[in-house]
């Protein structure tokens, strides 16, 4: 059984190293009771098989708190022809027990485009729900908590992109999916951390330009610049979760845990990438652990990811410095239950914005489907032009 070893090296939000304690079993128990849901024999029969996937993170004594909400959500999904798209950062009881499609933001965007369901519940943050709505306008897209934002998406507006384009006419605009539909609508093509370098290279070729505007994540842009020969014009957005990791943290963890394999998400600063053994999107990190089966690993990314990957890697120990995404952690079982039951928090986008944003997302999805591309670590840092 994989071990989850919380490390005090990095202080997370609220000082807790267990994302589920932000809300916790007591919260779920209260929430279920308030909604008239109890842990009956029928609930137990409907959920026992799901517990297998989460038993490494949820103690058996806590399971009866979650099970009634899980059974009720799964029942409602069937009755309403709904699916739940669960991002890799969801807590395990959401990710494994009610999620129908799981993955990184690129995988979830593809699922949104293809699902036959009438309702999509986005267990992720608002920009992901907007992406789903852009791709599936005929479907009802619900976000369980409208406050589930993203520091990157909040860092830039459509008006900012118009100003950037006016300053650099003819230079293609590659926009990270972690942005609002309004920002995507001003862009030529989107990218995710799974394909950022490939999209930037494609944009440079297609526009016959030696420069590409890559916004809004400054660190992702710098990390992409180191992977490609393309000159990058960047924005000063940061992910509030990944910017907190430091190269010193890595040195301390390596000392405390000999043999540790360090995996980083490309929203981390370049010196953190350089001090890591491997870097890539959340899907690439999952693939690395599944394929290489390291004995001891740390994932420099959001906290819940380790819990979810651990379910697929029983022989790996996970050192877990706790950096929570406060936005992702707004999504709870009862939030999903309420959204689906009351059909509330529907995501809407003005049609002209949606159509233009979809064009940029479609341009990305039309590129050849390839395995999430790893970032080669250890490459020299390359300067970018910050707008």
Binding site residues, ligand 13P, CB under 6 A: 88, 104-105, 178, 192-193, 239, 267, 281-282
Does residue 129 belong to the site contacting ligand SF4 (CB under 6 A)?
no
Does residue 150 belong to the site contacting ligand SF4 (CB under 6 A)?
yes
Contact (Cβ atoms closer than 8 angstroms) between residue 329 and residue 23 = yes
* Nearest distance, CB of residue 292 and ligand SF4, angstroms: 24
Of 40 and 312, CB closest to ligand 13P: 312
Tell me how far apart the alpha carbons of residues 378 and 376 are, in angstroms, rounded to a whole number: 7
Structure tokens at 138: 């005929």
Structure tokens at 70: 């899980």
Q: Strands, E, within 287-358: which ranges?
A: 296-300, 317-321
Which listed residue (136, 233, 328, 336) binds ligand SF4 by CB under 6 A?
Answer: 328
Partner from ligand SF4, ligand 13P, none contacting 105, C-beta within 5 to 8 A by type: ligand 13P
Of 133 and 327, CB closest to ligand SF4: 327
Partner from ligand SF4, ligand 13P, none contacting 88, C-beta within 5 to 8 A by type: ligand 13P
Using DSSP's 3-state secondary structure scheme, residue 238 falls into: coil
Of 63 and 245, CB closest to ligand SF4: 245
Beta-bridge mates of residue 113 = none
Among residue numbers 177 through 216, which ones bind ligand SF4 (CB under 6 A)?
A: 178
Using DSSP's 3-state secondary structure scheme, residue 328 falls into: helix
Contact (Cβ atoms closer than 8 angstroms) between residue 275 and residue 240 = no
CA dist 354 to 113, 137, 213, 359, Å? 14, 8, 21, 9
Of 105 and 276, CB closest to ligand 13P: 105
* Nearest distance, CB of residue 151 and ligand SF4, angstroms: 4
For residue 100, which of 141, 72, 108, 80 has the smallest C-alpha distance? 108
Q: Which stretches of the chain bind ligand SF4, using CB under 6 A?
A: 125, 150-152, 178, 239-241, 267, 302, 325, 327-328
């Amino acid at each position: 059984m994989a071990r989850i070893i919380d490390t005090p090296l990095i202080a997370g939000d609220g000082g807790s190293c267990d994302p589920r304690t932000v809300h916790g079993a007591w919260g779920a128990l209260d929430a279920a009771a308030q909604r008239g849901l109890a842990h009956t024999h029928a609930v137990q029969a409907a959920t026992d098989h799901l517990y297998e996937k989460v038993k490494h993170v949820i103690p058996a004594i806590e399971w009866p708190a979650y099970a009634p909400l899980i059974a009720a959500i799964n029942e409602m999904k069937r009755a309403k022809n709904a699916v739940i798209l669960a991002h890799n950062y969801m807590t395990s009881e959401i990710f494994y027990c009610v999620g129908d499609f799981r993955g990184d933001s690129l995988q979830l965007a593809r699922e949104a485009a293809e699902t036959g369901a009438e309702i999509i519940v986005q267990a992720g943050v608002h920009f992901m729900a907007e992406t789903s709505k852009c791709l599936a306008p005929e479907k009802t897209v619900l976000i369980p908590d409208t406050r589930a934002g993203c520091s990157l998406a909040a860092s830039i507006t459509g008006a900012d992109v118009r100003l950037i384009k006016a300053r650099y006419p003819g230079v293609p605009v590659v926009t990270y999916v972690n942005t609002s539909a309004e920002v995507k609508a001003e862009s030529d093509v989107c990218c995710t951390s799974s394909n950022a370098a490939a999209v930037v290279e494609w944009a440079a070729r297609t526009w016959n330009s030696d420069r590409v505007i890559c916004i809004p994540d400054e660190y992702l842009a710098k990390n992409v610049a180191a992977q490609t020969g393309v000159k990058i014009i960047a924005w000063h957005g940061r992910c509030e979760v990944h910017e907190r990791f430091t190269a010193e943290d890595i040195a301390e963890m390596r000392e405390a845990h000999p043999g540790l394999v360090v995996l980083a998400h490309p929203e981390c600063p370049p010196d953190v990438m350089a001090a890591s053994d491997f870097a890539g999107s959340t899907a690439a990190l999952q693939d690395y652990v599944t394929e290489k089966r390291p004995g001891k690993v740390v994932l420099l990314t959001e906290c819940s990811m380790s819990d979810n990957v651990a379910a697929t890697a029983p022989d790996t120990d996970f050192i877990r410095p706790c950096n929570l995404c406060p936005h992702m952690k707004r999504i709870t079982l009862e939030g999903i239950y309420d959204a689906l039951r009351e059909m509330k928090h529907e995501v809407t986008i003005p049609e002209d914005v949606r159509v233009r944003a979809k064009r940029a997302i479609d341009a990305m999805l039309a590129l050849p489907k390839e395995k999430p591309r790893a970032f080669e670590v250890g490459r020299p840092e390359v300067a970018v032009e910050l707008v």
